[in-house]
Amino acid sequence: MKRIGMLTSGGDCQSLNASMRGVAKTLYKNLKDVEIIGFNEGYKGLIYGNYRIMSPSDFSGILTQGGTILGTSRQPFKQMRVPDENGLDKVEAMKDTYKKLRLECLVILGGNGTHKTANLLREEGLNVVTLPKTIDNDIWGTDMTFGFQSAVDIATEAIDCIHTTAASHSRVFIVEVMGHKVGWMTLYAGIAGGADVILIPEIPYDIDSVVKAIAKRTKQGKRFSILAVAEGAISKEEAKLSKKELKKRRLDMPYPSVSYEIGDAISKKTGQEIRVTIPGHTQRGGSPDSYDRVISSRFGAAAANLILNKEYGYMVGMKNGDIVKVPLEEVAGKLKVVEPDSSIIKEAKLLGISFGD
Ligand code: F6P
């Protein structure tokens, strides 16, 4: 009998269940004797041996269900080599659980941090296959991650709703979109929602350029402006700071988030009324959209196929519409960012969208 471990780690997203279903359906269909062990709350379950034996019915009816049936948690990669409060070596504990349960392989669904730990487990000799999960779409080696499209839909809807109220009140509205390190979601939702200004971490902004873009619209007789701002947007001055200095600046700032700081600066410079809307974790909630259901099912089938072929140490990814396998050592530790001179940014600028640069 083959025993396959499965876990979801890091922030949740809409299509985790659809992805696990894809893996499970393919395994149950193509292996005579297979048992799936589900670890509760990500790597925590693997570390502390907290698991349950899954049955095919657990994976039934979950294609459209958001969240994760296994639960998840954030277990920072940096802490993996640091013993827990009882002195437990977490990496050794994970290896022990794997060995005790006589697992053939671990299927790990997660984002960037999760992939660093998955690669560490591979280096430690475990068989690992991963699936690219994150609403941020920032995993290196894949054009698309599952969760991204569904989250973009929610952020877009937030901007759509703001449009009517912004037009009625003649105000400047800021919609803050998730994404601390990368701006993929803000870029896509901003374009889809018709934002006038898009601020992302990859393109540091100059507040005077942002104000200029708003003033230009006012001059054209437009009564409102909408800004899509990534939660990790940074100014040109902040871009000069070290990571540590920026972190300190953010902790010290008297605003709940960057959008409020930007809003305050615009208000002081223009006298215009500003409102900030933060959809926050609603962006990770609810059902996956049809696009995510399709790619999750494809990723799941492809990941299971790697197991059927005993091909371990890979993440399944997507390149030009096809599913590919990417070696974990190539994925771990890299970030897929929005390139400031990429075609999508050029087209957005042609449309008249300001990036505040
Ligand atoms: O990684 C996904 C993500 O939603 C990011 O976009 C966001 O910055 C972060 O997680 C929020 O993390 P948490 O759920 O731990 O507050």
**Where residue 212 falls among pLDDT bands split at 50, 70, 90?**
very high
Residue 294 has pLDDT above 90, yes or no: yes
Whether the Cβ atoms of residue 141 and residue 315 lie closer than 8 Å to each other: yes
C-beta of 134 in contact with ligand 1 (< 6 A): yes
Task: Work out the average pLDDT over 160-166.
Answer: 92
* 84 tagged catalytic: no
Mapped onto helix, strand or coil, the DSSP state of residue 248 is helix
Residue 342 has pLDDT above 90, yes or no: yes
Task: Work out the average pLDDT over 65-93.
Answer: 97
Reported pTM: 0.96
Query: Minimal CA–CA distance to 287: which of 13, 25, 59?
Result: 13
Hey, CA dihedral for 25, 101, 108, 320, is it positive or negative?
negative
Task: Work out the average pLDDT over 212-236.
Answer: 96
Query: Minimal CA–CA distance to 210: which of 187, 229, 231?
Result: 229
Q: Domains plus CATH for the chain?
A: 2-147+288-331 (3.40.50.450), 151-283 (3.40.50.460)
Residue 179 is predicted with a pLDDT of: 98
Task: Work out the average pLDDT over 260-267.
Answer: 97
Question: Rounded mean pLDDT of the chain?
Answer: 97
Residue 170 has pLDDT above 90, yes or no: no
Residue 42 has pLDDT above 90, yes or no: yes
DSSP 141-157: T-S--EEHHHHHHHHHH
Query: Minimal CA–CA distance to 348: which of 159, 153, 233, 194?
Result: 194
**Which whole-number Å values give the CA distances from 53 to 5, 72, 86, 95, 197, in the listed order?**
9, 17, 27, 18, 50
Q: Which atom of ligand 1 is nearest to the CA of 151?
A: 4
Q: State the distance from the centre of ligand 1 to the C-alpha of 26, rounded, in angstroms.
A: 30
240-243 — which CB contacts under 8 Å span 24+ positions?
none
Distance CA 168, CA 301 (A): 48
DSSP-assigned beta bridge partners for residue 42: none
What b/e sequence results for 276-296 when a residue is b if at least 16 CB atoms lie within 10 Å of its CB, and e otherwise? Answer: bbbbeeebbbbbbbebbbbbb
C-beta of 133 in contact with ligand 1 (< 6 A): no
C-beta of 178 in contact with ligand 1 (< 6 A): yes
Residue 298 is predicted with a pLDDT of: 98
Catalytic residue, from 33, 58, 96, 136: name it: 136
Residues contacting 357, CB < 8 A, separation 6+: 203, 204, 205, 206, 209, 340
Tell the residue nearest (CA) to atom 2 of ligand 1: 11
φ and ψ at residue 27, rounded to 5 degrees:
-65, -50
**Where residue 226 falls among pLDDT bands split at 50, 70, 90?**
very high
DSSP 274-301: EEEE--GGGGG-S---HHHHHHHHHHHH
How confident is the model over 230-263, as pLDDT tens digits? 999 999 999 999 999 999 999 999 999 999 999 9
Task: State percent of the chain over pLDDT 70.
Answer: 100
Whether the Cβ atoms of residue 42 and residue 94 lie closer than 8 Å to each other: no
Task: State percent of the chain over pLDDT 90.
Answer: 97
Q: Which atom of ligand 1 is nearest to the CA of 185?
A: 6
How confident is the model over 137-151, as pLDDT tens digits? 999 999 999 999 999
Residue 169 is predicted with a pLDDT of: 87
Residue 72 is predicted with a pLDDT of: 97
Distance CA 191, CA 333 (A): 29
CA dihedral of residues 241, 247, 253, 256 (deg, nearest 10): 130
Residue 284 has pLDDT above 90, yes or no: yes
Q: State the distance from the centre of ligand 1 to the C-alpha of 209, rounded, in angstroms.
A: 28
Task: Work out the average pLDDT over 329-333.
Answer: 97
Name the residue of 116, 178, 257 whose CB sits within 8 Å of the most ligand 1 atoms, as the mutation to test its pocket. 178
Name the residue of 13, 115, 135, 152 whose CB sits within 8 Å of the most ligand 1 atoms, as the mutation to test its pocket. 135
How confident is the model over 105-117, as pLDDT tens digits? 999 999 999 999 9
Q: How many other CB atoms are there within 10 angstroms of residue 227's CB atom?
A: 30
Mapped onto helix, strand or coil, the DSSP state of residue 66 is coil
